Amino acid sequence: MRITSPHAHGPMSTPRVMLNVLLATVPGIVVMTHFFGFGTLVNILWGGLVAVACEALALKLRGRPLGFYLKDYSALVTATLLCIALPPYSPWWLIAVGIASAILLAKHLYGGLGYNPFNPAMAGYVILLISFPVQMTAWAPPRGVGELPGLLEALQACFTPAAFDGVTMATPLDVMKQNNSLLVKDLWQQNPQFGRWAGVGWEWANLAFLAGGAWLLYKRIFTWHAPVAMLAALTLMAALFNDGGSSASGGSPLFHLLSGATMFGAFFIVTDPVTSAVSVRGRLVYGAMIGALVYIIRVRGNYPDAVAFAVLIMNFAAPFIDYYTQPRTYGHQRSGGGE
Amino acid sequence: MRKIYGFHGGIHPPENKHQSLRSPIADAGIPPELVIPLSQHIGAPSRAVVAVGDRVLKGQMIAEPSGFVSVPVHAPTSGTIAAVEDRQIAHPSGHAAPCIVIASDGRDQWIEHGGKADYTSLDKAELLERIRNAGIAGMGGAGFPAAVKLSVKPDIKIETLIINGTECEPYITADDVLMRERAGEIIEGTNILRHIVQPHETLIGIEDNKPEALAAMRAAAEGSDIDIVEFPTKYPSGGEKQLIEILTGKQVPSGGLPADVGVICQNVGSAVAIRDAVVDGRPLISRITTVTGEGVAQPQNFEVLLGTSMHYLLDKAGYSAEKNRRLIMGGPMMGFTVPSPDVPIVKTTNCLLAPAESELPTPPPAQACIRCGMCAEACPVTLLPQQMFWFAQGKEFEKLELHNLFDCIECGACSWVCPSNIPLVQYYRASKAEILQLRRDTEKSEHSRIRFEARQERLAKEEAEKEAKRAARKKAAEERAQQAATAGGDEDPIQAAIERAKAKKAAQQAGGGEVSELEKLEKAVATTRKRLETATGKLETAKAEGSDLVEALQTGVDKTKAKLEAAEKALHDYQQANSGEQAKPAAPTDAAQAAIEKAMAARAADASLSPEDKARGQLEKLRQRLEKSRTKLAESRENGDEEKIIEALEATVERLSQKVAEAEKQLQETEGA
Amino acid sequence: MTDLFAQYPLLTALIALVTLGAVFGAVLGFAAERFKTEGNPIVDQINAILPQTQCGQCGHPGCRPYAEAIANGEAINKCPPGGEAGIQALADLLDVEAIPLDEEHGEESVKKVAYIREPECIGCTKCLQACPVDAILGAAKQMHTIITSECTGCDLCVEPCPVDCIDMVPAEEEGLQSWHWELPDPVARKVEIIATDAPRDEAA
Amino acid sequence: MADVSYRELSFNGLWKNNPAIVQLLGLCPLLAVTGSVVNAIGLGVATIMVLVCSNTSVSLIRNIVSDAVRLPAFVMIIAAAVTCIELLMQAFAYEMYQILGIFLPLITTNCVILGRADGFAAKHGLGPSIYDGFIMGVGFTAILVLLGGLRELSGTGALFANMDLLFGPGAANWEMVVIADYQPFLLAILPPGAFIFTGLIIAVKNLIDDRIKKRQDALKEKPVKGSKRVRVTGTIS
């Protein structure tokens, strides 16, 4: 078999990209474990197991070599991202259904890695959210607000959910959304889950994910365009509609930046290469639209956090964006799809 | 300081240039045999002007250009022409191409030659002629004839002359050492080019990873208008279009030439070759080639005669074949694997790369494209490689063209960065070739359609003319009959008409009968064949079971076979006779029908037969054909036809007899097996 | 039937419907007359896709008749020279599913051109009459030769030749000029396309 | 056209040309009301009745109505039939009528019905048309019920809930709890679930068809290669 040029190859490889992404989630996971207990860790371990099993099953059914495709770690990345998004102390079946939907429905039914139009982790998350709204909004109170279950209790919560009786409470985003009587200042005083800038724990988790994302940027795993555009758009929207803390307030820009899945979404979901726009301008548009949608859905939509929905909606639009943001090829006057 | 422009994308692969820079340019010497391909450049191959056995002198023209975009070839040393034949050349396909082989005599005797040190006294056309006659074709790697590049249309004003000293590919240092050691000659060559082109400004672009070359060039250019421009290293800055953008900020329009934006670009190697051609009158017979990679003990640059075998050169550098998995001509980014180390060095061989497996490993299997977009970031012409990859996979050629596939320079940056190891460049190369093929096919099919329609029209016209003539004859006959009728009784014509009708009817009936006869024969063949099949099947099972009926069955099968043969022969004979008979008198449709049926039957018989039966059928057919030819030959002889025809027929008979014999042998073999 | 409706109490509704019916009927009638389409432009488009070898393997005398037949609903898989690519193009044009080539009409093979072994030609002109594109040069009792650039490779001239002096040879010999890179082999390089999911038996 | 094999018709309606999973007609009700078996049966039966009525009438008038106005005529017939069925349902299964809501009148625009009217009844006699309407309706209903069952089972963990809406109070205890303690899986009940399950059913059908075809192909004789060629150039003399 003849080998075409180039004969040299750069250092980057898909498994390495995936491993880097996995590594970059570590600070965020550590912070989440610190504030919410071992729930997230148990989620990830169990979810990873299910994901590998689902991936292997799908590959087997499709007659693909198992080892070769399992080694790209994409299933583990999907599982980790989904499990971080799930509430800690979720029952095992919830995680299994989510992972199975993500890997089998959102990924392999569309042709496997690289062919999926929707982000598998977010598709799995949304399927769970609309199917099991109760379980999906039951967040444990963070350290300092409520009692943290231990590792054994975390395992119990996962595998014998009936025997586990955990305390749950609304997340700050939820409280902010439901509120229509208190001023933002009073809200802060009356609810213990609000911290310095956003929610207790949430703000630090977000900063940790920001750090992980910055490391990925440094490693050139992705470009800055989409995440920065998303954060900028979200900040802009929050700043535009920030009324200084009335009862109808949507929250300050800082609150939005450090709440919920903002940073996690910006650096780990929006940057998913398969489902996002490709060209530089396309990524700017794609990220900015997600940022705007996140704010709109958070403030006006039915669900408390919005990253998953915003991302899925823009996944739809990615090919369209790509079509209209084709770069001008060397030596061409403006041609192709145009502006 | 000049403003340096950038270009989109680009990559920074490890340079690996220092290995071959440890020693100065070495002389590779004169190998015992030189193989000089006639096509070492882009354009029409040259035409050999020497014959085997001729003695040639060094620098003598041995092949002349065969078109505008073509260059001559010269003998690199003195010796005798050993062969003019197809030899394997350095090409990714590994195919052979016409070459002139010179057995060198070691005397290295120059042909009489002379240059003109005062080139300013020559005008542009004369200089171009000298460059062309010296056989100079782009030394950078592409091999575009230098004279063609320099002869721009008179209405185009060249603003900028660019001398390309960039050499951006990893490993290659041929231009680097040339600039270090022969900076003066480069400047001299550049001055000749300036004299030809008369540009506003002359730039020599050199990357900042060659400080020694920069210094040497700066020193040599001291005091002249030539501007040595240093710019940051990035692959592929050495691409002509990229270099033009870096130095001037202008982009060559798609499908256009640098001259369209007032730029002409020449390689430093070409500049030296031009100097040699003009000042010394020396044609291009040697070049500087880098030999590098872990497969050789002493990586270095050689001044090597064109036509030297790569193996010879590699041995000079201490080549060990075990260490080296594949031999690459050119750099690791755009070079290609040569089929064997025995192919010759040509004008475009700037590097021989013999990497160890650990150095440039065999690419692992490609993984799925994850649309990471790294390829789009790396692409120096701002394409969307990953989109083109999907389209190439789906063979969506229209979309590929819309995505400007043909602007791809195949630099390999996309493949280099691809985390999934997808051989993107191969997709683009294959798609480009297929699109060009499709274009040719469409053109051809359109052409065929026009010809077919013209033929139909012509036939229709001929038919119409015939019809008109017949009508005229008929009319005349009628008139005559009328005259006769008025002269004689009026019973005769009616009687005649009735008889005619009767005859026609009879003929029709006969025809109908024939058709049913044909059907009968066909049916007979079909049933016999079926019977044969069942019988053979039974025989097979019997054999397998070791039954004692085998013998009886065998005779049965043989008998059926014979019957089948007879039936087929009858059918065939009948068909032949029939078509022969019918062809002329009957209406055209009938003959066509018969032909179709014949073809169908023949094909049906062909396809459903076992190899043995097939061979037998073939034999039968051949025999018949032989028979036919023999009769024809006899006829021709009787008629006293032209000798030529008789001869041809005789030849046919002989050939067919041979074929029959062969077929018989084959049949025996099949039966034996 | 009218009686039945007459007894029905919703007479006004009925009348309204009838009136509507009449009005729309008139519009329909007008439209049917006014916008009558003539000819079938699709035939030309189909004909443009067909390879114009005029070989008759499809069972029609020439490419255009087959194009007309396709426009009238005949299967699109009867053209071996066009091959799978041609079928795909037709399927795209007509928006139908691409089906595999009908083997009863022959097999896709490399492009060929006819070649007359000239010393053996007796000048019978039979092949001249057989050639659909007039690609054979010759006259009675003169040696014939093929104009290779015009030959479509239909092989219709082979059978009529009485001395069997016509060969079909590959149109382009694989050589330096015709060589080009092939698409990477999806199996060897494991570059997956979704279509490869189909033959599971081989992969598993 | 005269002799239509009823066997063929049955095979067409139930499997080969099934309106729901092969022709993909009438997807709107198919996806919207198949949240449970009882809904599916209700709509399915209504569709069967409408199909039979419309096919009957269309077949009867097929020679009277001119080609240009056939569609308006068919739609009128179908609309009338649907109105009758709607009124009947209102009278005898009021709860069901309320659950099916807008989808009952929407049967008018169900493509299965117009498709069969125009594609079959307008070209065939009374008998075959009635049978075709019936069997197509049954095929459609079968898929509705299958889909309803799958979605009900995976959505709620039970089967045949609320059958009394259709079959009277006696059917109230037909509900089977297949999986106890089941967490309602809302996705299956929501429209996306309908899409996913329809896709799966189609996939299974294609799989079976492929298997059958492969087996048949193995038995079938290879056709003769190149046997259908003609000579385009006429006589060779």
Residue B253 to residue A167: CA distance in whole angstroms? 68
> How is residue C104 annotated by DSSP?
G
Residue A65 placed within a domain: yes
Q: For residues B461-468, give the mean pLDDT.
A: 92
A106 and A200 assigned to the same domain: no
Residue B388 to residue B376: CA distance in whole angstroms? 10
Count up the domains in chain C and report the number: 3
How do residues D196-217 score in pLDDT, each as one tens digit? 899 889 989 999 999 998 888 8
Q: In which residue are the tokens 């789009």 written?
A: B376
B531 and B542 assigned to the same domain: yes
Residue B360 placed within a domain: no
- Count the Cβ atoms, other than its own, within 10 Å of residue B53: 9
Give the pLDDT confidence score for residue D54 in this predicted structure.
92
Q: Tokens in use for A224?
A: 């800055």
Considering C105, C132, C156, which residue would you say is the last residue of a domain? C105
Q: Tokens in use for B534?
A: 């069942």
B645 and B672 assigned to the same domain: yes
* Residue partners of A239: CB distance under 8 A and separation at least 6: A253
Q: In which residue are the tokens 């009692």 written?
A: A147
- Count the Cβ atoms, other than its own, within 10 Å of residue B284: 28
Residue A335 placed within a domain: no
- pLDDT grade for A246, boundaries at 50, 70 and 90: confident
Give the pLDDT confidence score for residue B493 in this predicted structure.
57
A193 and A304 assigned to the same domain: yes
Q: Tokens in use for B38?
A: 């006639």
Q: Tokens in use for A333?
A: 């006057």
Of A224, A309, A314, the C-alpha closest to A271 is: A224
Testing the interface with B: which of C158, C163, C178 to mutate, by most B Cβ within 10 A? C163
What letter represents residue D36's amino acid?
A: S
Residue A330 placed within a domain: no
How do residues B136-184 score in pLDDT, each as one tens digit? 887 766 778 888 888 877 788 889 999 999 989 999 999 999 999 999 9
B280 burial via Cβ count (<10 Å: 0-12, 13-18, 19+)? middle
- Chain D contact set for B600 (CB, 8 A): 227-229
Residue B371 placed within a domain: no
B349 and B321 assigned to the same domain: yes
A177 and A306 assigned to the same domain: yes
Q: Which B residues, 430 through 469, put their C-beta within 8 Å of a C-beta on chain D?
A: 459
Residue B321 to residue B317: CA distance in whole angstroms? 12
Q: Tokens in use for D44?
A: 């399915």
Residue D123 to residue D63: CA distance in whole angstroms? 9
Closest partner residue to C52 among B91, B445, B649, by Cβ? B445
pLDDT of D166 over the 80 cut: no
User: What pairing do the DSSP bridges indicate for beta strands B227-231 and B201-207?
Assistant: parallel
Of A310, A304, A275, the C-alpha closest to A289 is: A310
With contact defined as 3+ CB pairs under 8 Å, the chains touching D are A, B, C
User: What pairing do the DSSP bridges indicate for beta strands C136-137 and B286-292?
Assistant: unpaired
Q: Packing angle between helix A74-85 and helix A14-24, nearest 10 degrees?
A: 20
> What is the residue range of A223's domain?
171-325
B584 and B614 assigned to the same domain: no
Considering B459, B484, B509, which residue would you say is the last residue of a domain? B484
Give the pLDDT confidence score for residue A123 in this predicted structure.
93
Q: Name beta bridge partners: C112.
A: C170
Residue C86 placed within a domain: yes
> What is the residue range of B416's domain?
382-484
Closest partner residue to A16 among B326, B335, B419, by Cβ? B419
Residue B571 placed within a domain: yes
Count up the domains in chain A and report the number: 2
Residue pair A50/A79 in contact (Cβ under 8 Å)? The answer is: yes
Q: Does the CB of B431 have a partner CB in chain C at under 8 Å?
A: yes
- Chain D contact set for C107 (CB, 8 A): 225-226
Residue B216 placed within a domain: yes
Closest partner residue to C183 among B95, B392, B451, by Cβ? B392
Q: In which residue are the tokens 């001249």 written?
A: C128
Residue pair B454/C131 in contact (Cβ under 8 Å)? The answer is: no
B591 and B632 assigned to the same domain: no
Q: Name beta bridge partners: B88.
A: B96
> What is the residue range of C126's domain?
112-170
First-residue to last-residue Cα distance in chain C: 66
B574 and B654 assigned to the same domain: no
Of A299, A316, A32, the C-alpha closest to A178 is: A299
Residue D227 vs residue B433, higher pLDDT = B433
With contact defined as 3+ CB pairs under 8 Å, the chains touching B are A, C, D
CATH number assigned to the domain comprising residue C135: 3.30.70.20
A225 and A159 assigned to the same domain: no
B451 and B507 assigned to the same domain: no
Residue C198 to residue D120: CA distance in whole angstroms? 34
A113 and A197 assigned to the same domain: no
Q: Does the CB of B424 have a partner CB in chain A at under 8 Å?
A: no
Q: Do C134 and B451 touch (CB under 8 A)?
A: yes
Q: For residues B395-406, give the mean pLDDT.
A: 89
Residue B489 placed within a domain: no
Considering A143, A169, A195, which residue would you say is the last residue of a domain? A169
Q: Do B607 and D236 touch (CB under 8 A)?
A: no
Give the pLDDT confidence score for residue D66 in this predicted structure.
78
A140 and A226 assigned to the same domain: no
C77 and C95 assigned to the same domain: yes
Q: Does the CB of A5 have a partner CB in chain C at under 8 Å?
A: no
Count up the domains in chain B and report the number: 4
Q: Which A residues, 143 through 182, put their C-beta within 8 Å of a C-beta on chain B?
A: none
Residue A97 to residue A101: CA distance in whole angstroms? 6
Residue A336 placed within a domain: no
A118 and A256 assigned to the same domain: no
* Residue partners of B12: CB distance under 8 A and separation at least 6: B233, B234, B235
Residue pair A135/A86 in contact (Cβ under 8 Å)? The answer is: no
Residue A146 to residue A192: CA distance in whole angstroms? 9
Residue A112 placed within a domain: yes
What letter represents residue B612's amino acid?
A: E
Residue C198 placed within a domain: no
pLDDT of B285 over the 80 cut: yes
Residue C179 placed within a domain: no
How do residues B172-198 score in pLDDT, each as one tens digit? 999 999 999 999 999 999 999 999 888
Residue B265 to residue A299: CA distance in whole angstroms? 60
A163 and A175 assigned to the same domain: no
Q: Which conformational region is residue C11 in: left (phi greater than 0), alpha (psi within -120 to 50 degrees), or beta?
A: alpha
* C36: three-class secondary structure by DSSP: coil
Tens of pLDDT along chain C (204 residues) come to: 566 656 666 778 888 888 888 898 788 788 877 777 665 678 888 888 888 888 888 888 888 889 988 888 888 888 888 888 888 888 888 888 888 888 778 777 788 888 888 888 888 888 888 888 888 888 888 888 888 888 888 888 888 888 888 888 887 666 667 778 888 766 544 444 343 443 433 333
A138 and A226 assigned to the same domain: no
Residue B338 to residue B359: CA distance in whole angstroms? 18
Considering B460, B484, B508, which residue would you say is the last residue of a domain? B484
How do residues A69-125 score in pLDDT, each as one tens digit? 888 889 999 999 999 999 888 899 999 999 999 999 899 988 888 888 999 999 999
- Count the Cβ atoms, other than its own, within 10 Å of residue B4: 13
C57 and C101 assigned to the same domain: yes
- Chain B contact set for A112 (CB, 8 A): 368
How do residues A131-167 score in pLDDT, each as one tens digit? 888 888 888 888 777 777 888 888 888 888 777 777 7
Considering B589, B608, B627, which residue would you say is the last residue of a domain? B608
User: What pairing do the DSSP bridges indicate for beta strands B328-329 and B286-292?
Assistant: unpaired
First-residue to last-residue Cα distance in chain B: 84
pLDDT of A335 over the 70 cut: no
* pLDDT-wise least confident of A27-31, B158-162, C150-154, D168-172: D168-172
A64 and A132 assigned to the same domain: yes
Q: What percent of chain B has pLDDT over 90?
A: 35
Residue D130 to residue D51: CA distance in whole angstroms? 8
A62 and A188 assigned to the same domain: no
Residue C100 placed within a domain: yes
Residue B364 placed within a domain: no
Chain C residue with CA closest to A112: the answer is C194
pLDDT of B510 over the 60 cut: no
Of B283, B29, B9, the C-alpha closest to B134 is: B283
How do residues B610-655 score in pLDDT, each as one tens digit? 666 667 777 777 788 788 778 877 877 777 666 767 777 777 788 8
Reported as half-sphere exposure (CB side, CA atoms, 13 A), residue B576 has a value of 15
Residue B366 placed within a domain: no
Q: Do B441 and C152 touch (CB under 8 A)?
A: no
Give the pLDDT confidence score for residue B161 in this predicted structure.
93
Q: Name beta bridge partners: C168.
A: C114
B662 and B552 assigned to the same domain: no
CATH number assigned to the domain comprising residue B163: 3.40.50.11540
Residue A48 placed within a domain: yes
Q: Does the CB of B342 have a partner CB in chain C at under 8 Å?
A: no
Q: Do A4 and C181 touch (CB under 8 A)?
A: yes
pLDDT of B609 over the 70 cut: no
First-residue to last-residue Cα distance in chain D: 45
Residue A331 placed within a domain: no
* B94: three-class secondary structure by DSSP: coil
C58 and C79 assigned to the same domain: yes
* Residue partners of B292: CB distance under 8 A and separation at least 6: B16, B19, B20, B171, B172, B173, B299, B300, B351, B352, B353, B354
Residue D62 vs residue A76, higher pLDDT = A76
Give the pLDDT confidence score for residue A193 in this predicted structure.
76
Of B445, C159, B607, the C-alpha closest to D232 is: C159
A158 and A18 assigned to the same domain: yes
The per-residue pLDDT of chain A, averaged, comes to 86
Element (H, E) at B98: strand B96-104
B173 and B293 assigned to the same domain: yes
Q: Do C61 and D232 touch (CB under 8 A)?
A: yes
Q: Do B332 and A6 touch (CB under 8 A)?
A: yes
Cα–Cα distances (Å) from B357 to A71, A312, B321, B504, in that order, read 23, 44, 12, 86
User: What pairing do the DSSP bridges indicate for beta strands B160-164 and B201-207?
Assistant: parallel
Q: Tokens in use for A226?
A: 């989409």
Q: Do B426 and C122 touch (CB under 8 A)?
A: no
Residue C87 to residue C101: CA distance in whole angstroms? 8
Closest partner residue to C56 among D227, D231, D236, by Cβ? D231
- Count the Cβ atoms, other than its own, within 10 Å of residue A101: 23
Q: What size, in residues, is chain C?
A: 204
Residue C45 placed within a domain: yes
Give the pLDDT confidence score for residue A338 in this predicted structure.
37
Residue B3 placed within a domain: no
* pLDDT-wise least confident of A198-202, A232-236, B144-148, B170-174: A198-202
Closest partner residue to C190 among A2, A4, A68, by Cβ? A68
First-residue to last-residue Cα distance in chain A: 42
* A143: three-class secondary structure by DSSP: strand
